[in-house]
């Protein structure tokens, strides 16, 4: 019985850690979006709303597609 409880506690701990990591990454993404000079105000609002509503999907698209663009110009 204690083995089952230990596995359940461990699984829940891993799940909580993953969820917290995703939300930390989404917060980083939103802060990065708001600081980007190449996005207009409307784009910043739309990306931020998408990041809140569709957290993981928006984060993947942002990191793999948008973040690669060079905005240092």
66 part of a folded domain: yes
In DSSP notation, 24-73 reads HHHHHHHHHHHH-TTS-HHHHHHHHHHHHHSHHHHHHHIIIIITTS----
pLDDT score for 38: 85
Q: What pLDDT, on a 0 to 100 scale, did the predictor assign at position 22?
A: 92
| Whole-structure pTM value | 0.74
The domain tally of the chain equals: 1
pLDDT at 9: 74
pLDDT the model gives residue 49: 94
Low-confidence ranges of the chain (pLDDT < 70): 1-7, 69-73
pLDDT value, residue 69: 66
CA distances from 67 to 22, 26, 33, 40, 51 (A): 17, 13, 9, 16, 14
Alpha carbon 31 to chain centroid distance? Answer: 11
Q: 70: domain range?
A: 23-73
């Amino acid at each position: 019985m204690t083995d089952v409880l230990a596995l359940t506690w461990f699984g829940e701990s891993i799940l909580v850690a993953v969820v917290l990591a995703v939300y930390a990454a989404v917060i980083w993404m939103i802060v990065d979006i708001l600081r980007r000079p190449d996005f207009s105000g409307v784009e910043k609002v739309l990306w931020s709303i998408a990041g809140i509503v569709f957290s993981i999907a928006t984060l993947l698209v942002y990191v793999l597609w948008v973040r690669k663009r060079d905005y240092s110009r």
